[in-house]
Amino acid sequence: MIDIERLVDHHCHGIITDTLERPRLEALMSESHRPAIPGVTQFDKPLGQVIRRYCAPILDLEPLASADDYVRRRTELGGEEVASRLMKATRVAGMLIDTGHRSDDILGVEAMGALSGGFAHEVVRIESTMEQVARTAGSGLELIDGFDVLVRERAAGAVALKSIVAYRTTFAIDQTRPTRAEAIAAADAWLRRNEASGWRRLEDATLIRHALFQALDICTERKFPLQLHVGVGDLDVDMPKCDPTVFIPFVKQAEERDVPITLLHSFPFVQESAWMAEVFSNVYFDVGFTLNFTGPQARRIMEEALGMGPFFKQLYSSDAFGLAELHYLGAVQFRRVLDAVLSDWIAAGDCTAKDADRIAAMIGFENTERIYRL
């Protein structure tokens, strides 16, 4: 067995500890915006298979207990007990938590650390920060100045910043800093649209460019990584334009400043992300929740990630949101498939057991601890 005990999850979210009715539970198992079609459930896919295989025993069930039995037992134990059992079973040393998505619905950083028994630090999402300011801003000038102040205040207690530019505008945008006048004009226009037709999330490319370059300034000053959403997501994703190679002009500017860029979950652009980690000194990547959603086939994803990417450039992430199951499975799947791949390398004479332990340590926690300066 390879030594993959210590893990630091460099990208994840909080969980919900309510006792969930089945529809809400299944909604949190899915990236879709609609329920499963009649006659099937979200357990009828690779993620459901590994929940039944690995999470069921933590809830005192046999491996591969039926979906009905799993849901029934989850309800019997209650949401808080389920969360406590599964989070402690992850055995992660720490978590870096993106607090910018549905923060009112999930546990915060401190509560997540207490529940898991490890350390927890915040990662600040820049688009959510600008949206927070916009709700009370009276003008574009107030919005831009308010964002610049608030993002710096929040960064003071964080370990990194994150952007979901790929979600909101795709990577296929102008990758230069807008002028202050351009940013203020775009902010005025966005606020007017919100006033005229109701709240709209931030999707203006000029405002997101302003936020990105403000984030780049902060990351340069504080020696922070900047996390970037890549690839997979829900209905909003324009997948071809979420390829990280489209964002190379911005990545080059970050490289000139020695700012680490971490490409999150990467699927289906795992090869592209690994290549970028090879050629750019500042690019890191993970395969995130892809290991959960590919279930029994997750080994193929790990093999792809290890195909070119330097071992000192890959990071462990669960990208879990909402369900404690996803945190637990992230750790289980990562340990399981990395052990399988490296054990095959040892058996084939391609590396020693010492080499394998070193690779696992780099990906599991050392790279994260180094670039986030933990």
Q: Which of 16-25, 98-107, 218-227 has the least mean pLDDT?
A: 98-107
Q: What is the pTM of this model?
A: 0.96
**Whole-angstrom distance, CA of residue 115 vs CA of residue 117:** 6
**Whole-angstrom distance, CA of residue 362 vs CA of residue 260:** 16
* pLDDT at residue 100 in the model: 87
Domain range summary for the chain, segments of one domain joined by +: 8-19+78-371
The tens digit of pLDDT for each residue in 300-353 reads 999 999 999 999 999 999 999 999 999 999 999 999 999 999 999 999 999 999
**Whole-angstrom distance, CA of residue 277 vs CA of residue 314:** 8
The tens digit of pLDDT for each residue in 30-39 reads 988 788 888 8
* pLDDT at residue 33 in the model: 77
pLDDT of 281 higher than 70: yes
371 — pLDDT class (breaks 50, 70, 90) = very high
197 — pLDDT class (breaks 50, 70, 90) = confident
* pLDDT at residue 227 in the model: 98
43 — pLDDT class (breaks 50, 70, 90) = very high
Q: Which of 173-187, 188-202, 274-288, 350-364 has the least mean pLDDT?
A: 188-202
Residues contacting residue 186 through CB under 8 Å, at least 6 positions apart: 140, 178, 204, 206, 207, 210
Closest CA to 152 of 175, 124, 127, 128: 124
The tens digit of pLDDT for each residue in 106-152 reads 999 999 999 999 999 999 999 999 999 999 999 999 999 999 999 99
Q: In CATH terms, is domain 8-19+78-371 a member of 3.20.20.140?
A: yes
**pLDDT: which is higher, 178 or 105:** 178
* pLDDT at residue 234 in the model: 66
The tens digit of pLDDT for each residue in 251-267 reads 999 999 999 999 999 99
* pLDDT at residue 31 in the model: 85
81 — pLDDT class (breaks 50, 70, 90) = very high
Mean pLDDT taken over the chain: 96
